[in-house]
Structure 1
Amino acid sequence: MKQYKKVVLAYSGGLDTSIIIPWLKENYGCEVIAVSADVGQGTELDGLEEKAIKTGASKIYIEDLKKEFVEDFIWPTLKAGAKYENYLLGTSFARPPIAKRLVEIAKKEGADAICHGCTGKGNDQVRFELTIKALAPEMEIIAPWRIWNIKSRDEEIDYAEKHNIPLKITRETNYSKDKNLWHLSHEGLDLEDPANEPKYDKILELGVSPEQAPDKPTYITISFEKGIPVALDGEKLDGVTLIQKLNELGGKNGIGLLDIVENRLVGMKSRGVYETPGGTILYHAHEVLETLTLDKETAHYKALVAQKYAELVYNGQWYTPLREAIDAFVDKTQETVTGDVKLKLYKGNIINAGTTSPYSLYSEDIATFGADEVYNQKDAEGFINLFGLPLKVKAMLDKKNKH
C-alpha cells in the first residue's frame, strides 16, 4: 500500500474509528491526527481525547461546529422543505461541515491524506469524499472499509478486543447509530429485517413512544423570520438552543419517530429508524406558515425544487453549483415567510392550533361562506366555460367521429 507520513482521521470514538487509529499505524506507519466534530452528539464526545491518544493518535482536535451546522446547513434545508423519501436528512447534511473542517485541519497540519470510517455500502463515504474533492481536489483519501480484510461489525469488535481498545457497545447492543443535534438514527441487528417491529423501549434516546407520552397536550408557538425559526413561545433563541428545546418538548410527546426502508445512493435498500423530534416540529410549522404566505404557483414549483434539493443533500452534493442556485430561489420565496405558528403536541401528533403572518395571502372576506362584497359568484361561470373549453371541444369531436 502507498505510504503516508501524516493522516487526518474523522474520529467519532465509535466502533469503526476506534480501531482505525491502530490499523492506520500498523499498515502505513503514519502519524494519525484525530478530528472530532461536535455537531450536537452530547455525551458521545466524553473521554474522546484520552481514548484517541491512548489508541495511538498524536493529537486530537475537538471542533464545535453546532452553530455552523444549524445556520449554514440545517436552516437552508428547512427553508427548502427538503425531504428524502419522507426523511428529514439528519445524517446527510452533517457530513459536509465535518468534511469541510477535516480539509481545513489537514491543510493546516500538512497531512498527506484524510481518512474516514464509512463502509463501502453506505452513503456517508460519498458525502465525505465529494466534499473533500470539492474543497481539496489534490487530497488523498483513505477508506479502510474498502481495503481491509475486516468484513463485519463482529470482526471489528474482535480486532478491538485483540488490541485492548475500549468500546461503549457490546455485541448485543451493536446497533449502527448516528447522533447529532437534529436527529438520531438506528440501523442493524433486528432492524435489518423489515418484518420486525422496532424495540422502541430499548432503542429510543431522544424521546418516548407515543404510547408513553403524557395524556395532556403541550401547546407551543414558533416564530419565523424569512423562513428561519427565531423564537419559541415569544422567547428569542439562537438556532442551537431552539432545536435543543424542541427536541426535549417533542421527545417527551412522542414526536418525530420514523421507521422506513429507504433507497441508498449506492443502489440497495436500507431499513432505518429515526428520531427527529425538534426537526419534525419545525418542518411542520414551516410548511403551515407557507400555506399562508406563498402563492399557489410558487408553492407548487417549490415542492418540485424541494425534491431535487433533498436528493442533492442526500447524495453528498452540497458543494455544487445547482445547490447554490436552488438556495437563491428558495431565499426569494422566503422573503414573506414570517409569522407565528401555534401547535398542539399530543402523543406523536402535531396538531395545528392557529397561524398568523403579516404577509398572509388568506382573505376571510373573499373566502367566507357568508355574505361578501368583494367576490361576484357569477364570474365563475365564464371562468369554467373557458377552463373547460378543451374538454368540451374534445367531447364534441368524439361525438362527431362516432357518427
Structure 2
Amino acid sequence: MALNPKLQIIAPWRFWDLNSRKKLVAFAKEHNIPIPTTKKNPYSSDENLLHISFEGGILEDPWNEPEEGMFKLSVSPENAPDVPTYIEMDFEQGNPVAINGERLGPVELLTELNRLGGENGIGRLDMVENRFVGMKSRGVYETPGGFILREAHRDLETITMDREILRIRDSLVPEYSKLIYNGFWFAPEMALLQKTMDESQKTVNGTVRLKLYKGNCIPVGRKSDNSLYSEAHATFEEDAVYDQADAGGFIRLNSLRLQIQALNRK
C-alpha cells in the first residue's frame, strides 16, 4: 500500500468459510488446484530463493522433532560428506559478488550457495517466533545459502569495520529486522535505517574463506585491502608500535569511578 494506496485486500481464507487447513485442502482438491500439502505431507510450506519455511502438521507441537522427509534443500548433517568443502567468497561494499573467484549475479550466487550448503547439511533452523499479532508460532526453516552468506559477511566485517561503527550498526539490527519481519520494508523509518546500513558497508570489501562441514559453516580465513587489522600492533612478540606501560594510566582512568564508589562504601 506504500507503493499503491488503492490496493484492495483479497483473502478468501478470511472471507469464505475456509477457517482450517483441512477445509483449504478439500477446496483445492475439489477445484483441481495443485498444492504440496497432503495427508502424508501435511505441512504448510512457503518457498523462495532465500529459504523454505515449514509450519503445521506435527510441527504445531513444539516438542515434536521435524521429520527428515520434510526437508527439500538440505541433507541431514549426519548424511553430509565426511570431507569438508572449502569455498572463498568475495564482497564489495557488503554485497556478495563471487564464489571461488567466479563473479555471479545475485540469483546465480544464492542458488550456488544453496546447493553447496544443502549438500553439507547447512542452514536448518527450528524456532518458535513471536508473531506481529501477538501469538507464538513454531516454524522450521531451510536457508543454506542465507546461512553461509551471513557467516561470511559477519566475518569480513570483523576486519573491515571500525569497532564503534560495528557496535552502533549492531544495536540497530533488532529494529531493522523487526521492520522487515512485520512488513514495513517501504516505511520511512526503514529508508532511514537503510541509509545507515549502506554507509556502514562502504569498507566491507574483501574475501572470506569458509569450511563447510556437516551442518557447520566455519570461517577459516579473511583478507581485505580495507583491513583494519595490524599484525604489528596485535603481535604477542616484541614490537615497536605499542607501549605496554600505557596500560597503567588506562587502568587508573577507567577504574576511577569504581575507586570512588569503594571509598564511599568504606
TM-score band, normalised by shorter chain: over 0.9
Q: What's the CA shift string for 1:208-235, capped at 9, x where partnerless? A: 0100100000000000000000010011
Which residue of 1 is the match for residue 60 of structure 2? 192
Which residue of 1 is the match for residue 82 of structure 2? 215
Measured in 2, the distance between the counterparts of 1:376 and 1:311 equals 44
Measured in 1, the distance between the counterparts of 2:35 and 2:160 equals 50
| 1:348 pairs with 2:215 | yes
SS state at 2:159 partner:
helix
How far apart are 1:164 and its partner, in Å? 4.5
Which residue of 1 is the match for residue 21 of structure 2? 153
Q: What's the CA shift string for 1:81-115, capped at 9, x where partnerless? A: xxxxxxxxxxxxxxxxxxxxxxxxxxxxxxxxxxx
Which residue of 2 is the match for residue 293 of structure 1? 160
Q: Is the 8 A contact 2:41 2:70 kept in 1?
A: no
Which residue of 2 is the match for residue 227 of structure 1? 94
How far apart are 1:155 and its partner, in Å? 1.0
Between 1 and 2, higher relative CO (CA 8 Å, sep ≥ 6) is seen in: 2
SS state at 1:322 partner:
helix
- The gaps in structure 1 that reach 5 residues or longer are 1-132
Measured in 1, the distance between the counterparts of 2:180 and 2:2 equals 14
Q: Is the 8 A contact 1:154 1:171 kept in 2?
A: no
Measured in 2, the distance between the counterparts of 1:293 and 1:140 equals 46
Which residue of 2 is the match for residue 392 of structure 1? 259
Total equivalences in the alignment: 266
Which residue of 1 is the match for residue 184 of structure 2? 317
Which residue of 2 is the match for residue 182 of structure 1? 50
Structure 1 residues 228 and 161, CA gap change in structure 2 (3 angstroms): closer
Structure 1 residues 167 and 283, CA gap change in structure 2 (3 angstroms): closer
- The gaps in structure 2 that reach 5 residues or longer are none
| 1:266 pairs with 2:133 | yes
Q: CA RMSD in A?
A: 1.2
Match of 2:206 among 321, 325, 339: 339
Q: Is the 8 A contact 1:223 1:232 kept in 2?
A: yes
Which residue of 2 is the match for residue 139 of structure 1? 7
Structure 1 residues 211 and 366, CA gap change in structure 2 (3 angstroms): same
How far apart are 1:198 and its partner, in Å? 0.9
2:49 maps to a residue whose letter is L
Structure 1 residues 297 and 167, CA gap change in structure 2 (3 angstroms): closer
TM-score by length of 1: 0.65
Q: What's the CA shift string for 1:256-286, capped at 9, x where partnerless? A: 1100011111111111110000110010000
Structure 1 residues 370 and 336, CA gap change in structure 2 (3 angstroms): same
How far apart are 1:150 and its partner, in Å? 1.6
How far apart are 1:166 and its partner, in Å? 4.7
Q: Is the 8 A contact 2:151 2:219 kept in 1?
A: no
Which residue of 2 is the match for residue 84 of structure 1? none
Measured in 2, the distance between the counterparts of 1:166 and 1:233 equals 39
TM-score by length of 2: 0.97
Measured in 2, the distance between the counterparts of 1:249 and 1:222 equals 12
Measured in 2, the distance between the counterparts of 1:215 and 1:369 equals 36
Q: Is the 8 A contact 2:156 2:208 kept in 1?
A: yes
| 1:303 pairs with 2:200 | no
1:264 maps to a residue whose letter is R
| 1:383 pairs with 2:250 | yes
Q: Is the 8 A contact 1:343 1:352 kept in 2?
A: yes
Structure 1 residues 227 and 173, CA gap change in structure 2 (3 angstroms): same
Measured in 2, the distance between the counterparts of 1:367 and 1:159 equals 66
Measured in 2, the distance between the counterparts of 1:289 and 1:215 equals 27
Measured in 1, the distance between the counterparts of 2:3 and 2:219 equals 43
Q: Kindly, what percent of the aligned residue pairs are identical?
A: 53
Match of 1:171 among 31, 39, 50: 39
The structure in which a higher percent of residues are helix is 1
